Amino acid sequence: MSDAEKFWDKSAEKYSKSKISDLASYEKKLAETQSLFEPHMRVLEFGCGTGSTAIEHAPHVKHIDAIDISENMLEIGREKARVAGINNIAFTRNTLSEFKAAESSFDVVLGLSILHLLPNRDAVLKEVSRVLRPGGYFVSSTVCLGSSPLRFIKLIAPMAKILGIMPEFHVFTKNELVSEIADAGFKIERQWHHDSGGLKVFIIAQKIELT
Ligand SMILES: C[S@@+](CC[C@H](N)C(=O)[O-])C[C@H]1O[C@@H](n2cnc3c(N)ncnc32)[C@H](O)[C@@H]1O
């Protein structure tokens, strides 16, 4: 079991009980995402956690594959979906690369509060682009500390990870993230900060259609 899997398995129960810190922003993100949906669509969410967002979106699309490395997170997600009467979400334990989706097989991919936790962002963004159909959308929400005083967290993050008190955490700026997403073959449609400190960035990017 990887350190990340252990960390998130241990955090699952507490995570599932944590309150949404800014409900207005959360609802705006849900609404902007749902404006992309049509009932026939297939959606992939990686790093889905306990499935709360997938459950909100499920009535608006045909099917959601919700993947995560933590089986404890997924178990809570399955139970929440069952209680909500949602049966078009498949919760499976996978990283994006392990999932091995067919090329162009999804209309929308969601990566929410996850990109700053992954060491291999370039490879992840390339995989998102591969599995999306041309014209499909990548919706992400990411903590970008690169221009903030909090960027020095990168000095303590490796030790905090070894001690098991923090997950793996990567520091970069919003501009770096935007250009990485563009380099993976996307046009940025919308981007806005969803916290007063300007550290959390919501981005909707469209996979460029080849003509
Ligand atoms: C901060 S939580 C975000 C959960 C959810 N997306 C949300 O917005 O509430 C990060 C989630 O990513 C998962 N995760 C971490 N590394 C991952 C990886 N390499 N592949 C898939 N999931 C991962 C964790 O298990 C955890 O559930």
How many residues belong to the chain?
Answer: 211
Instruction: Please report, in tens digits, the pLDDT of each residue of the chain (211 residues total).
Output: 888 899 999 999 999 999 998 899 999 999 999 999 999 999 999 999 999 999 999 999 999 999 999 999 999 999 999 999 999 999 999 999 999 999 999 999 999 999 999 999 999 999 999 999 999 999 999 999 988 877 778 788 788 788 888 888 999 999 999 999 999 999 999 999 877 667 999 999 999 987 6
- Which residue(s) pair with 111 in the sheet? 140
CATH number of the domain within which 141 lies: 3.40.50.150
Pocket test for ligand 1, best of 1, 2, 5, 8 (most atoms within 8 A of CB): 8
Residue 161 is part of which domain span? Answer: 3-207
∠ at Cα 10 (146, 174), nearest 5°? 15
DSSP-derived letter for residue 184 is T
Ligand 1 atom having least distance to the Cα of 96: 20
Rounded to whole angstroms, how far apart are CA atoms 31 and 29?
A: 5
SS (H, E, C) 145-161: CCCCHHHHHHHHHHHHH
Q: Per the structure, how many domains does the chain have? A: 1
Q: Is the pTM of this model over 0.85?
A: yes
